Amino acid sequence: MALFKWKNHDIEDVEVDLLLHAMLLRYGYDFSGYARASLKRRLLDLTRYFDVKHLSDLLSVMLYDEAVAQTVINSISVPTSEFFRDPSVWKEVRKTILPALDSFPWINIWQVGCGRGEEVYTLAILLHESGLLNKTRIYATDINPAFLQEAKNGVWSSRHLRSWRENYRNSGGEWDFDRYFGPHGDDIAIREDLKKSIEFIQHNLVEDDVFKEMQFVVCRNVLIYFGMALQERVLHLLSRSLERGGYLLLGHSERIIDLHENHPDLDQLDNSSQAYHKVITRHV
Ligand SMILES: C[S@@+](CC[C@H](N)C(=O)[O-])C[C@H]1O[C@@H](n2cnc3c(N)ncnc32)[C@H](O)[C@@H]1O
Residue pair 230/206 in contact by the 8 Å Cβ criterion = yes
Cα of 111 vs centre of ligand 1, distance in Å, is 10
DSSP symbols for 102-124: TTSSSEEEEEE--TTSHHHHHHH
Q: Is 224 in the pocket of ligand 1 (CB under 6 A)?
A: no
147 lines ligand 1 (CB under 6 A): yes
The CATH H-level superfamily of 87-283 is: Vaccinia Virus protein VP39 (3.40.50.150)
Domain boundaries along the sequence of the chain: 13-77, 87-283
CA distance 15 to 21: 10
| pLDDT for the residue 9 | 63
Contact between 256 and 239 (Cβ < 8 Å): no
Residue 5's pLDDT is 56
Indicate if ligand 1 lies below 6 Å from the C-beta of 33: no
For residue 77 and ligand 1, the question of a CB distance below 6 A is answered with yes
| Calpha distance 69→58 (Å, rounded) | 9
Which atom of ligand 1 is least distant from the CA of 221?
A: 8
**pLDDT score, position 8:** 55
Strands 181-184 and 136-142 turn out to be unpaired
User: From the CB of residue 177, how many other CB atoms can be counted at a distance below 10 Å?
Assistant: 17
pLDDT digits (tens, 9 = 90+) for 197-224: 999 999 999 999 999 899 999 999 999 9
* Closest-CA residue to 125 (of 82, 66, 74): 82
Question: Measuring CA to CA, how many Å separate 271 from each of 95, 99, 247, 281?
Answer: 11, 15, 14, 11
For residue 227, how far is its CA from the centre of ligand 1 (angstroms)? 14
d(CA 229, CA 37): 15
Q: Give the distance (Å) from ligand 1 centre to CA of residue 203.
A: 10
Work out which ligand 1 atom sits closest to the CA atom of 206.
19
Q: How far apart are CA 158 and CA 177, in angstroms?
A: 13
Kindly give the distance from the C-alpha atom of residue 240 to the centroid of ligand 1, in angstroms, as a whole number.
19
Give CA–CA dist 253/276, Å, rounded. 10
Strand pairing class (187-190; 181-184)? antiparallel
C-alpha Rg value of the chain to the nearest Å: 20
Please list the ranges in the chain whose pLDDT falls under 50.
Answer: 1-4, 271-284
